[in-house]
Amino acid sequence: MAHDVEKSTSVPPIEPPLGSTVIPVVNKLREVLAKVGGGDSELELPQVAVVGSQSSGKSSVLEALVGRDFLPRGSDICTRRPLLLQLVRSNEEAGEFGEFWHLPGRKFFDFSQIRAEIQAETEREAGGNKRVSNKQICLKIYSHRVLDMTLVDLPGMTKVPVGDQPLDIEAQIREMILSYIKQPRCIILAITPANSDLANSDALQMAGIADPDGHRTIGVITKLDIMDRGTDACNLLLGKTIPLKLGYVGVVNRCQEDIKLNRGVHDALASEEAFFQSHPVYNRVADCCGIPKLAKKLNKIFVQHILKMLPDLKSSIRSKLSIASKEHSNYGHLPRKPDQGSLVLNILLKYSKAFVSMVDGRNEEKLTSEVYGGARIHYIFQSIFVSRLEVSYNYKFNTLYANSHYYFYKIIYFICQLSQEVDPFERLTDQDIRTAIHNATGPRSALFVPEVPFQVLVRRQIARLLDPCLQCARLVYNELVKISHSCLMHELQRFPVLKMHINDIVGSFLFEGLQPSQTMIGHLVEMEIDHINTSHPNFIGGNKAVEVASHQVRSYRLGSTTPRTRDGEDSEASGSNRRSTAIVVRSPTNGIVPDQGVRSVADIEKNGSPGSERSSNWIISSFFRGKEVQSRGIDASGSNSDNGILNHKEHGSSIIHLREPPLMLNSSEMHSEHEAVALAVTKQLLESYYTIVRKKIQDSVPKAIMHFLVNHTKRELCNVLIENIYRESLFQKLLQEADDVSLKRKRVEETLIALQEASKLLDELPIESATV
């Protein structure tokens, strides 16, 4: 018995194939990640892509690696879909068989049936007339003859389209090949026939594009047995022609005659071995010749590549797992009936909190990405509403000089171009002000500027402030509606009925808050219209307005152009016919003085009573009484009344007839000197009071909107939502999920489970670096 023990201990243990534990785990990982979906370069697993031109011997190399005939054959293109081939080393007792991913649970022990299924599956996707498809066929082969590795057989590169192939078939196949070999975790197996020029190899050219340094490319030289006599590929195999870091391997394929005679792969391998041993050149480079050498080389490099890529792969899977977990938490689980009330209440509370944080500017997600919420409301108040009511003037002057066909004076044409759209005198022309002044004086000439035109006109201008104020409230309301729609978008996406109820209730509640805001704004404007407070400390007042207007008129009169005189008359004789022009401008603080023709200072002083004060009140009174003084002068210089009557009788035959007044009397036909100052004073008063009201409105309207609309919504939103939505009878209906959300959650759950399983597999993966 001791002898038996000694004998058993003397037998060396059978060394498992390299990667026997690593590669099966990676294959399992590949199946798990296939549930996540392809196309993610971060989750691409190591594999060997077989690249070569059509009829370069790709299929023969793959069948030799497997040791069985199982690939479609023919003179035209045979591989029309990528074939993912997983080779799994198994016990001899288990037998040799294959499994397709699209036929789970079905084992193919007859490899001719595997070939037939590959052809049938290719035609199902790509059709039966030589077209190609990028959709993979996944096949797993279990055999005691193979070494563990994963290969992808890609369509052979071709130049001329055949059958139903499109004209750009070459570009399509090249693009398909590049999509595989450009991945850094892919090893490139470049197949090149020995009877062609290696410098023109399509496979090496494509490999050079994806792997310019040659770190991932293994060269395979096929058909060494059919080279011209006296030639060999020794320099190619040694990398002296086109060097590759991973080197070259030479193989001998079965010829077409061997395939027709059903010569087996095992016989072909034996024939290949005999060829290399008997060849005088290749027997010196036996380490890089033959299918067995290629299989061991591929297995070793593949395992090394896996171990090299494991850290990055683990990091990528953990990152994807974190993202999937977060997405899954957003979708959550379908609540049971006892938990429905707490879920609804939690959503309502979170919604109210999110709304308030958006208005107050405390939303962390959008803090640095964009201007949002309350900041946009502030923008509406300051940059739209307040600046809209501010007035800035640019002046353009166009002077029309008077001539003998015009009245004693002509108003200078005045254009005030506003940089903003609101103007105290918008829709209020000088003609409107004159007309109001004339109508207010009645049948008398006014001694001072009448107050009624100022009261009527300023009320009309104040009333124009109502529309922009109401528009401001509407803009803030629209902004609050936008904020309400952006709250808890992910959570509410699950429950469309609950989302619709919340939007309806919040929209109605905001509209209810808009009504008192607009009412208060209307009251603010009506208060200003109802009482014109001319005792306001900032109001310019009548005396100051007259003083400023008179000073401007006097200044521009002295600086006006020289009056025109008629031919043959001196300037003194034509004094009564002088024309003088003055430009009316806006004082920085006191408004607009209109362009009017006025009499000179000397004429005013001459017509005034001696010793009278030259105050602004006296000046304005003089202007208003100009016509009366002139008429009295005419009466004094004429004959007495009796002489007038006698003269009338004597000249009765020549009666002077007066013209009828026009049906529509325009104030432009009633110009007089004092109207220029009256117009200027009225404008000064209008602008001064309008500015006071404007500033009050600019301050009061945002306060009203914030109180009645914004802050009221923040305070009461949560109570309103709970009062209208938190009802047990509505829970079942409110928590109905949308169909697309259910599908997305199911997909996310599957992805999460797959990533969790993949992470677990990687954590349990043994490291075989010492063996490698």
Average pLDDT rounded to a whole number, residues 52-56 = 86
- Give 317's pLDDT tier (boundaries 50, 70, 90): confident
Query: What is the radius of gyration, based on Cα positions, of the chain?
Result: 50
What whole-number distance in Å separates Cα of residue 533 and Cα of residue 352? Answer: 45
Does residue 509 surpass a pLDDT of 70? yes
Per-residue pLDDT, averaged over 509-534, amounts to 92
Comparing CA positions, the residue from 573, 553, 554 lying closest to residue 563 is 573
Tokens of 348: 């309502």
Rounded to 10 degrees, the C-alpha dihedral 679/685/689/691 comes to 70
CA dihedral 568, 571, 572, 574 (to 10 degrees): 70
Question: Mean pLDDT for the chain?
Answer: 75
Question: Residue 448's Cα: distance from chain center in Å?
Answer: 63
- Whether the per-residue pLDDT at 265 is higher than 60: the answer is yes
Residue with tokens 């600019």: 698
The DSSP bridge pattern shows strands 97-100 and 107-108 to be antiparallel
Report which of residues 332 and 51 the model is more confident about. Answer: 51
Q: Look at residue 603 in the predicted model and tell me its pLDDT.
A: 42
Residue 564, classified by CB atoms within 10 Å of its CB into exposed (0-12), middle (13-18) or buried (19+), is middle
Give the integer Cα–Cα distance in Å for 435 and 670.
Answer: 10
Phi and psi based region of residue 651 (left: phi greater than 0; alpha: psi -120 to 50; beta: remaining):
alpha
| Strand (E) or helix (H) holding 64 | helix 58-66
Mean pLDDT in residue range 328-334: 74
- Mapped onto helix, strand or coil, the DSSP state of residue 217 is strand
Cβ burial, residue 34 (10 Å; 0-12/13-18/19+): middle
Q: What is the pLDDT of residue 316?
A: 85
Predicted confidence at residue 642, as pLDDT, reads 47
Q: Give the rounded percent of residues in the chain with a pLDDT score beyond 70.
A: 70
Ramachandran category for residue 445: left, alpha or beta (phi over 0 → left; psi -120 to 50 → alpha): beta
Mean pLDDT to the nearest integer, 589-607: 38
Q: Pick the range with the lowest mean pLDDT from 158-162, 333-337, 400-404, 745-749.
A: 400-404
Q: What is the pLDDT of residue 20?
A: 63
Which is higher by pLDDT, 319 or 609? 319
462-488 mean pLDDT:
91
Q: Which neighbouring-strand residues pair with 191?
A: 52, 220
Whole-angstrom Cα distance, residue 258 to residue 510? 85
- Stretch among 166-180, 342-356, 539-553, 661-675 having the lowest mean pLDDT: 661-675
According to the model, what pLDDT value does residue 187 have?
Answer: 93
Task: Summarize pLDDT for 77-107 with one digit per residue, the tens.
Answer: 778 899 999 988 888 888 899 999 889 889 9
List the structure tokens of 636: 């004094």
Residue 526: pLDDT over 50: yes
What's the pLDDT at 45?
82
On whether the CB atoms of residues 681 and 552 are closer than 8 A, the answer is no
Nearest-angstrom CA–CA distance, 447 and 615: 14
Looking at the predicted structure, is the pLDDT value of residue 267 above 60? yes
Of residues 600, 610, 604, the one with CA closest to residue 624: 604
Which residues face 298 on adjacent strands?
Answer: none
Whether the per-residue pLDDT at 39 is higher than 60: the answer is no
Task: Please give the backbone phi and psi of residue 588, each rounded to the nearest 5 degrees, phi first.
Answer: -55, -25
Cβ–Cβ < 8 Å for 517, 704: yes
175 pLDDT band, cuts 50/70/90, is: very high
Look at residue 699 in the predicted model and tell me its pLDDT: 92
* pLDDT score at 570: 43
Which span out of 328-337, 686-695, 708-717 was modeled with the highest average pLDDT? 708-717
pLDDT of 391 above 70: no
pLDDT at residue 631 is higher than 80: no
540 with 609: CB under 8 angstroms? no
pLDDT at 280: 86
Predicted local confidence at residue 765, as pLDDT? 67
* pLDDT value at 614 more than 50: no
- Using a pLDDT cut of 90, give the percent of the chain over it: 23
State the Cα–Cα distance between residues 221 and 58, nearest whole angstrom.
11
323 pLDDT band, cuts 50/70/90, is confident
Give the pLDDT confidence score for residue 437 in this predicted structure: 59
pLDDT digits (tens, 9 = 90+) for 356-384: 998 988 877 766 667 878 889 999 998 88
Residues whose CB is less than 8 angstroms from the CB of residue 201 and which lie 6 or more positions away in sequence, other chains included: 53, 190, 192
Mean pLDDT of 527-556: 77
Residue partners of 384: CB distance under 8 A and separation at least 6: 472, 475
pLDDT band at 108 (very low <50, low <70, confident <90, very high): very high
Reply yes or no on whether the pLDDT at 44 is more than 90: no
578: nearest Cα among 558, 598, 552, 605: 598
Least confident interval from 6-15, 184-193, 384-393: 6-15
